[in-house]
Structure 1
Amino acid sequence: MTSSNDTRPTHRLSEAGVSIWLDDLSRERLATGNLAALVAEKDVVGVTTNPTIFASALSKGDAYAGALAALAGTDVEAAVERITTDDVRDAADVLRPVYDATHAVDGRVSIEVDPRLARDTEHTVEVAERLWATVGRPNVMIKIPATVEGLPAITRVLAQGISVNVTLIFSIERYRAVLDAWLAGLEQATANGHDLSVVGSVASFFVSRVDSAVDAALEKVGTDDAAALRGKAAIANARLAYAAYEEVVAGERWAALKAAGAQPQRPLWASTGVKNPEYRDTMYVDELVVAGVVNTMPEATLDAFADHGIVLGDTVTGTAEEAAAQIVAIEAQGVSLDKVTTQLETEGVDKFEVSWSQLLETTQAGLDAAATQGGAE
């Protein structure tokens, strides 16, 4: 338990209304009690995963040796699903007290649909349903990418009372479409008789990748004016996303759903690890503080924020006009944010597909080694 005079930066961030989620998961983290310790000591109230995280976890150490031995001879895709859903289920159990204490708001653990299905609505829905049933915990969230094909899948999955983490959002235009898909899903869930109070959703708006791409374009421009705009695009873009969220939750559709007991689809700041060493390592946390959002951090960012993070109150509300002006200034340098965000979505899907392939390869190698060892014995 934390005291009212707790001065930890993570506690102050939580008190400001930001839910801290860890952007990482591994069997080692679960087995050693590290995840439980982060909940107790660094105010972590949720976990996000993705194919890159799982591929990394399986490639390190021997935490999965027992699982791979038990699965030797199993189809590799089935083995991957078994391993990842087991980890997510165990993490959900660790976080279940948070889920209960926050009345189904936090304590969530996300697992991603196979990224190779990002352009396939029907199979995305099918796999989302299977993952939800396989994990079998009310505090899981199914991650679905905000591709054009992902939008109807988001609506259909929410309509079944399944909680959804919408991932890979880069542009304000696409985010508005995600908000509409979410509202439609909850409206259908109401019609289907589901209890809206437990249907959670977050919209993962990616941050640092926007700066990396825009900064590179500004450097090519080569002017002092362009250089002065480096490191401005991502936070401005996120603040404009929050303004779009405010518009929607002030509308009649949300008012009706709220009256029926629904939770808002909270903005989630993703990709918050700073990639440019010239920038403050907690800037994507410090500058995006506002009540009712989630910030999912890789462990390095969480540790940095726990050590020297800054919480000066709300740094988002009322910033839309200034943020819009910064985007206008960037585009005046010949850098199209629309082109950047479109490219980032394509790259994001591609990167997760590569990570998924690496996850399959690593798992297959482990299964083969386990089968060989078993045969030798």
Structure 2
Amino acid sequence: MGNTDRLAQLSQAGVSIWLDDLSRQRLESGNLAELVRDKHVVGVTTNPTIFANAVSHGESYDEQVRALAQHGADVHEAVRELTTTDVRNAADLLRDVYTGTGGKDGRVSIEVDPGLARDTDKTVAEAADLWKAVDRPNIFVKIPATEQGLPAITRTLAEGISVNVTLIFSVERYRAVIDAFFAGLEQAKASGHELRSIQSVASFFVSRVDTEVDKRLEAIGTDEALALRGEAAIANARLAYAAYEELFASPRWQQLREAGADPQRPLWASTGVKNPDYSDTRYVDELVVAGTVNTMPEKTLEAVADHARIEGDKVSGTAGQAQQAFDRLAAAGIDISDVFLTLENEGVEKFDKSWTELLDTVNDQLAKAKG
């Protein structure tokens, strides 16, 4: 079986393959172009951690940092310039994919400053700024699905800006995200925006759910508890898909669809496997269903190309089994609401910490450049 055949199978099964990584080095070396050409990659996601890694490793940013230092840019301006330049160049590279898929794929996601995750108004303002700064139709602005993020998602979509909703852990919160999406499109329609041009994905996080639940099952330590390791994340994603099917069959959605809207696609995020006991392609193999996106780190992409088992739709009609898995977890003593709350707080903190690291790195580089 040829190296890219499994990725081709995944793509043919209706799953859009996105790369969960971006760096200037990847752009300049031609690596991203190669992945798009040979590995069926049709989108790119970034987050503060990815940018912090990119900017601290490698010299490809030095020249731009020197120029920014000469212009007297402060650290926030510099970070904005560095990150939006990468996203703009990646968006240009993916422009043909964007055109060829009618705007669904060929997208590059850029995240609002994670320090604003709990501030609705500032998130809305920052999303509009990023959209203007990158100035490409094929980007997504990433907004976290915190309670304060939900109204920001609605307001941003209402302005005609395409949104990637990130850090979704629970099905309950995912339902609220879909509601925010519907409300945003309804408002956009009322203000005369062309709905066809507004796209959205909902990034439902996968591997982190197993990491947290497995840790708690091990702490409980009973045979019943230990037997449930590795069940939570896939069950959770399958229940999310069932919620997607239900809400996108509603009369409320039919009206938006008739007005030209495309559905907000479920996106499986955090699909790199953290536990070496598990197959390194499980969060791809087990979540194949048409009309979804799987955004993976390059290591996972390579593993999928090499040995994934793509066996068609593994999600439709699985809600009953998934619910049973959740019932067993509850019976074993797992407080699933607490799991989701913990993960959301950790997710926001993690990105905030990475953002601070990014600012520190660029600050040092500016200082060096100024001599």
Normalised by the length of structure 1, the TM-score is: 0.97
Between the aligned partners of 1:306 and 1:254, the Cα distance in structure 2 is 36
User: Which residue does 1:375 correspond to in 2?
Assistant: none
Secondary structure of the residue aligned to 1:109 is strand
Counterpart residue identity of residue 159, structure 1: A
Secondary structure of the residue aligned to 2:137 is coil
User: Which residue does 1:208 correspond to in 2?
Assistant: 207
User: Which residue does 1:55 correspond to in 2?
Assistant: 52
The answer on 1:244 being equivalent to 2:247 is: no
Structure 2, unpaired ranges of 5+: none
Does the aligned pair in 1 maintain the 2:128–2:156 contact within 8 Å? yes
User: Which residue does 1:220 correspond to in 2?
Assistant: 219
State the aligned residue count. 368
Q: 1:315-340: per-residue Cα shift (whole Å, max 9, x none)?
A: 00000000000011011111111100
User: Which residue does 1:135 correspond to in 2?
Assistant: 134
User: Which residue does 1:350 correspond to in 2?
Assistant: 349
The answer on 1:315 being equivalent to 2:321 is: no
- The aligned runs of 1:28-47 (5 Å cut-off) are 28-47=25-44
Shift of 1:6: 9.6
Counterpart residue identity of residue 315, structure 1: K
User: Which residue does 2:197 correspond to in 1?
Assistant: 198
Shift of 1:343: 0.7
Between the aligned partners of 1:12 and 1:339, the Cα distance in structure 2 is 37
Secondary structure of the residue aligned to 1:71 is helix
User: Which residue does 1:364 correspond to in 2?
Assistant: 363
Does the aligned pair in 1 maintain the 2:4–2:38 contact within 8 Å? no
Shift of 1:130: 0.4
Between the aligned partners of 2:53 and 2:290, the Cα distance in structure 1 is 32
Shift of 1:203: 0.3
Between the aligned partners of 1:220 and 1:157, the Cα distance in structure 2 is 42
Does the aligned pair in 1 maintain the 2:207–2:271 contact within 8 Å? yes
Q: 1:239-276: per-residue Cα shift (whole Å, max 9, x none)?
A: 00000000011001111111111110000000000000
Shift of 1:185: 0.3
Q: 1:270-309: per-residue Cα shift (whole Å, max 9, x none)?
A: 0000000000000000000000000000111011101111
- The aligned runs of 1:121-200 (5 Å cut-off) are 121-200=120-199
Counterpart residue identity of residue 102, structure 1: T
Shift of 1:352: 0.5
Identity among equivalent pairs (%):
64
C-alpha distance 7-271 of structure 1, shift in aligned 2 (>3 A) = closer
Counterpart residue identity of residue 113, structure 2: D
Q: 1:27-81: per-residue Cα shift (whole Å, max 9, x none)?
A: 0000111111000111000000000000000010101011111111310001000
User: Which residue does 1:280 correspond to in 2?
Assistant: 279
The answer on 1:12 being equivalent to 2:33 is: no
Between the aligned partners of 1:247 and 1:369, the Cα distance in structure 2 is 55
Q: 1:123-155: per-residue Cα shift (whole Å, max 9, x none)?
A: 000000000011000001000000000000000
Does the aligned pair in 1 maintain the 2:164–2:200 contact within 8 Å? yes
User: Which residue does 2:301 correspond to in 1?
Assistant: 302
Name the stretch that deviates more: 69-78 or 120-129.
69-78
Counterpart residue identity of residue 235, structure 2: A
Between the aligned partners of 1:229 and 1:6, the Cα distance in structure 2 is 34
User: Which residue does 2:103 correspond to in 1?
Assistant: 104
Shift of 1:227: 1.0
Does the aligned pair in 1 maintain the 2:4–2:305 contact within 8 Å? no
Between the aligned partners of 1:244 and 1:274, the Cα distance in structure 2 is 25
Between the aligned partners of 1:113 and 1:37, the Cα distance in structure 2 is 28
Between the aligned partners of 1:311 and 1:29, the Cα distance in structure 2 is 28
User: Which residue does 2:74 correspond to in 1?
Assistant: 75
- RMSD over aligned CA atoms reads 1.0
Secondary structure of the residue aligned to 1:234 is helix
Shift of 1:370: 1.0
Counterpart residue identity of residue 271, structure 2: T
Between the aligned partners of 1:306 and 1:138, the Cα distance in structure 2 is 30
User: Which residue does 1:25 correspond to in 2?
Assistant: 22
Normalised by the length of structure 2, the TM-score is: 0.98
Between the aligned partners of 2:367 and 2:304, the Cα distance in structure 1 is 41
The answer on 1:257 being equivalent to 2:262 is: no
